[in-house]
Amino acid sequence: MRISEWFCNFLTPDWLTAVGTVGAVVLALILALWGEMVSSLFVHPRLSLKARVGGPDSEKTRRQVHAANAGTAYFFRLAVWNSGNTAAHDVQVFLAKIERIVSGQDVEKVSRVTPMNLKWAYRGTSTLPTLLPDMPPVYCDMAHVSEPYKKAFVDEYLEHVAPLDAVLVLDVEFPSNMQGHLLDAGTYYFHLILAAANCRPRKYKLEVTFPGKWFDEEESMFDVGLKMRCV
């Protein structure tokens, strides 16, 4: 049998229908994947983070622990917003590591700090389900400072810190039994990763200066008690 005759016999209506169907499915898949790729270039969330001390980013509030009065504490928060054109899903702020400035420009890693997610303010969870675009910032708790005379009661004390000095408490998802979430006075670099399920993560480096002092007046605490900025 000649090749031309075999080919003509092969091209029956049923075979042509089958080939056409498969081709249509393949083409549809290619167009769908291509469409998603093109769409992702133009439609996506864009997350940003800002660190500043002062209201409304910072707040002095009364605390209750096990239904008992735990005094007051200052909470220092990070403002997070979405400047993209679609909602961000499952947003997290991850504390990757902390370094302490020991002298001049020399730094050392604070090894007892466990890398962990921070918690969203007023929610107590580490994942924000949805962050809509073009809305006011949502706040993530970075750290707080409790009244020194209450720090033992709330288990936020370090043995080497004087009774009347303050401790900086990281608002991480799971506080460490080894006190890795507690910092004494010093200047630190906080390395943060801001991420969501449907956008690329962004890295931030914060310089946090904590003199280890408590001030009853908000103005003094926000001016002297803690400073932080992106570097």
Which residue type does 157 have? Answer: Y
Average pLDDT over residues 30-46: 61
Same domain, 35 and 53: no
Same domain, 77 and 27: no
Distance CA 58, CA 139 (A): 10
Same domain, 13 and 59: no
Same domain, 180 and 67: yes
Same domain, 62 and 136: yes
Q: Would you say 131 and 138 are in contact if contact means Cβ atoms under 8 Å apart? A: yes
Same domain, 130 and 31: no
Same domain, 30 and 52: no
Distance CA 96, CA 121 (A): 19
Bridge partners (DSSP) of residue 206 are 190, 230
pLDDT at 184: 97
**Considering its fold, how many domains does the chain have in total?**
2
Same domain, 22 and 125: no
Same domain, 23 and 53: no
Q: Does residue 32 carry a pLDDT above 60?
A: no
Maximum distance among all alpha carbons in the chain? Answer: 101
**pTM to 2 decimal places:** 0.81
CA neighbours within 13 Å on the CB side: how many for 59? 14
Q: Does residue 37 carry a pLDDT above 90?
A: no
What would you report as the CA-atom Rg of the chain, rounded to the nearest whole angstrom?
A: 27
Same domain, 119 and 32: no
Range of the domain at 13: 3-42
Same domain, 92 and 171: yes
Taking only the tens place, the pLDDT of each residue in 17-27 is: 655 566 566 55
User: Which band of pLDDT confidence, cut at 50, 70 and 90, is reported for residue 16?
Assistant: very low
Distance CA 214, CA 36 (A): 53
Same domain, 30 and 66: no
Average pLDDT over residues 87-96: 98
Query: Strand 58-65 and strand 128-131: pairing?
Result: unpaired
Which tokens in the block code for residue 211? Answer: 């003199």
Distance CA 194, CA 201 (A): 5
Comparison of pLDDT for 151 and 64, the residue scoring more: 151
Taking only the tens place, the pLDDT of each residue in 124-181 is: 999 999 999 999 999 999 999 999 999 988 999 999 999 999 999 999 999 988 899 9
- For residue 87, give the nearest of 218, 226, 198 by alpha carbon: 198
Taking only the tens place, the pLDDT of each residue in 191-206 is: 999 999 999 999 999 9
pLDDT at 38: 45
Distance CA 142, CA 145 (A): 11
